[in-house]
A and B are shown apart, each in its own frame.
Chain A
Amino acid sequence: MATYDFVFRALGLERWCTSGGDNAAPMSMEALVAQSSGEEASTSIWELPFPSMDRLNDACQAFPQSRNVTRGLEQGFLNVKDSMSVVLDPLTQPLSWMLEAALYGILNTPWWIVIPGLMLIVWLVSKSWQLLAFVAISLGGLAFIDYYSYAMQTLAIIMVCAFLCVLFGVPIGIAMSRSDKMRAGTIPILDMLQTLPPFVYLIPLIFLFSVTEPKLYGIAIILYAIVPVIRLTDLGIRMVDESVIEAAEAFGMTDRQKLYGVQIPLALPNIMAGVNQTIMMSLAMVVIASLVSAPGLGVLVLRGINNLELGVGLVSGLGIVLLAVMLDRTTKAALNRINASQKG
């Protein structure tokens, strides 16, 4: 009958095969097509199929199909879901609170406090008039076309997530720079986080948390955006001039004095470069996260796509670009100021 019958016959497993024959495994796609067209599987060597799970299932009903694997995975995930939620839910609850508070705060503070406040921060960080003017015009423009609250929501989410990325990322980076073992263990995880397509992050999270909770997209953004700040903290500390470290040791600094007095300050340009990238990546993710109810400009982009509202999609896309440029320039200006104060 099927191509690989002989395998099971040779192994003497026909009994086992037929015993499982009446299981309710779904028919594989190919089998369905073949059956409806009434054609027998060809035995020409040119059309020899790869002995895949589905093909073997053709020959032996008891052999699992590949769909069973993915289904098993689902089932397994569902089984541990509850116990995982018990642990993860309370742990991540503060994230929801923070996001809710930030969103509430930024939307309920009058614009004439928020905009000057943001401009003040930009000024303090960058000391650049051009940038200040750019930020003022961009924010004013977004507010003028009534995109103010969307833009502020996006900004609030990014602020919270980037802050948490730095809060966790820098210590992880420091730990990595101090222990080669830790580094060897962490790098594969970082590589995976960095190469995983952003949508894929959302899949396990949707299972674990309810879609209405802000922490769902908060976690997705943090996982996606934390990688650069970890990597660059590690790199920055490892790149600190060895002779300076030696001097620090020769004058009897403790490890703590070395870390706070020498390594972190000298790694700061790299750490800031990491923070810059982290913010940029949070922005990218916050748009995608609108699929799982993250508020902000992403929602408008989504609406543009879903309802074919071309204008809305384009203008909110432009708003995201403006936000990106503002954040990028501000953090880069801060970086440049650090660099200028400690050239070689």
Chain B
Amino acid sequence: MIKRSEKNTKIAIRNLYKIFGADPESVLGYVRDGMSKAELLEKHNHVLGLNNINVDVKEGDITVMMGLSGSGKSTLIRHLNRLIEPTAGEVDLDGVNIVDLSGKELRRLRREEMSMVFQHFALLPHRTVLENAGMPMDVRGVPKSEFEDEANKWLDRVGLKGVGDQYPFQLSGGMQQRVGIARALCSNAPVMLMDEAFSALDPLIRTDMQELLLELQSELQKTVVFISHDLDEALKLADHLVILKDGYVVQQGEPQEILIAPNDDYIVDFISDINRARVLRVRSVMEKTERPPENPAGEVDENDNLESVIARSEGETALTYIVTRNGKQIGTLKMTNLVKALVPTAASEEGLRTSAV
């Protein structure tokens, strides 16, 4: 695995503010001085959408932005292709601030650099599935006879062979979203923005779609920005996880780090209900050392999840395993540490949990 710091930064969000209301500039100062969302609404009747966001989106990563409803996820992702204009701050794509782009340059960016998948699919109801999938090329002026092959290729790739002549309303929700993904891929843009792309789907179909996305991702290595309000989904997909609350970033980092060391009660609440044994990896709870332990119980890979290790240990807590990367030792794992890691950091503080429910 390449270290995050070594990856190229594709999109850099810098000091981004967004305030909704009659005169956002006039109240920006209060927000910079630390006024909260609730106070701003009450005293100045403006809605704080985004509050000093700084995020690096790395090339080839899936960056997941997560937060409760109203935390500003949709607002943030729409700044990346400037569907919403920021009140202050910048968004750099490959080092160019897109806030400064002219209308024409912005259209080129939307056509060639970024594609988007929407929560409610947003297909064109009067066009066939094929025409929908080929829409990004159609927008660039490519005639249908020429984009047909490309569109069909991506429809096949997302598992929709042979429905090209149908209309979107004839497809199920899951199939419509596959068209949405095919459309995004057909634009051949390196960046793909996905706003709660799977939230409107049934749980089973949703899992299928997550698999599909991971599969496509290992093949295509797009830079994906994915919005979700579902922690399981976020953990499954994320290389980098950004947690938003009331328009500001509460914590961001590798998902494992956030699980092990949440820095806010808000996040503790979030993560308290998940199956930690399944999500946590050995590498997150091991001790880093190259010295072999005394009488090791065996070897585990750094990316195994804790559940599999527990199954292997048959519940025995006195064991110590050697942790390997590509067959070489990089650390040791004591079962006692593993069990401790299963307890959410603040789960013992029952009060905090129940008060949140």
Contacts and interface: CB of A to CB of B under 8 A. Distances in A.
B116 A344 contact: no
Contacts of A50: none
A250 B115 CA distance: 7
B246 to A, nearest CB: 24
Interface in B91-124: 106-112, 114-116, 118-120, 122-124
Interface residues of B, number: 30
A251 B111 contact: yes
Interface centre among A241, A248, A249, A341 (most CB of B within 10 A): A249
B132 to A, nearest CB: 10
B125 A343 contact: yes
A248 B124 CA distance: 9
B135 to A, nearest CB: 6
Contacts of B106: 252
B83 interface: yes
B107 A252 contact: yes
Contact of A253 (B112, B139, B169): B139
Contacts of B193: 250
Nearest to B125: A342
A271 to B, nearest CB: 13
B125 A247 contact: no
Contact of A250 (B116, B123, B140): B116
Contacts, number: 68
Say whether chain B's binding surface is mostly helix, strand, loop, or mixed. mixed
Contacts of A244: 122-125
Nearest to A250: B116
A254 B107 CA distance: 8
A50 B44 CA distance: 53
Contacts of A252: 106-112, 136, 139-140
B120 A243 contact: yes
Interface centre among A252, A265, A344 (most CB of B within 10 A): A252
A249 B125 contact: no
A250 to B, nearest CB: 4
A249 B111 CA distance: 9
Given A265-B126, A266-B126, A249 B83 contact: yes
B83 A250 contact: yes
A249 B138 CA distance: 13
A246 B122 contact: yes
A211 interface: no
B187 interface: yes
A66 interface: no
A261 B144 CA distance: 14
A251 B83 contact: no
Nearest to A255: B103
B9 interface: no
A265 B131 CA distance: 14
B118 A246 contact: yes
Interface residues of A, number: 22
A85 interface: no
Contacts of B122: 241, 243-244, 246-247
A254 B116 CA distance: 17
B252 interface: no
Given A246-B83, A343-B169, A251 B110 contact: yes
Contacts of A257: 139
B20 interface: no
A251 B125 contact: no
Contacts of A291: none
16 contacts: A241-B122, A243-B118, A243-B119, A243-B122, A246-B122, A247-B122, A248-B124, A249-B83, A250-B83, A252-B110, A253-B139, A257-B139, A262-B124, A265-B126, A341-B167, A344-B169
Given A251-B183, A266-B125, 5 more contacts: A250-B114, A251-B116, A342-B125, A343-B125, A344-B125
Closest 7 interchain pairs by CB? A252-B110, A252-B111, A247-B122, A250-B116, A342-B126, A243-B122, A252-B107
